[in-house]
Structure 1
Amino acid sequence: MYCSSSITVHLLRGAAALALLVFALFFNPYGMVLSGVALVGAVVLLRGCPMCWMMGLVETMRKGKGPAST
């Protein structure tokens, strides 16, 4: 259910979500709308909360979808 196509894709989604979270925290004084959009984008990339992302990573690793498999 939470699996990505590969571990690499899953980690890239996590990194992008982390970047959006950092953007939302540091640029909050410049516009709450941009921060809100960044937070929504992070939740979409994480497919829920950070724990949901972690569960998806574990499932992806368990299914053996490493970087070499597509």
Structure 2
Amino acid sequence: MYKILKAHPTKEQITNFNMKIAEEDDYVDYVIDLNTLDEDAKKELCSLYDIDDKDLNQKEKLQLSISSSV
């Protein structure tokens, strides 16, 4: 699953969701292995990034991307 962000995640969010960071020339990707999250963390993730929990539960990974110029 792929979602474009308007703001970078906080350090706390990066830690809480075990985000892996990949930086490219024009963008930054934050990848989350959804299998490592408990149900409460998934609910928080859905709330923060406006994601349907039914869609999220069918996926193994979530990639959040943002322009590196933001």
Greater radius of gyration (CA): 1
Length-normalised TM-score, structure 1: 0.33
Length-normalised TM-score, structure 2: 0.33
Higher helix share: 1
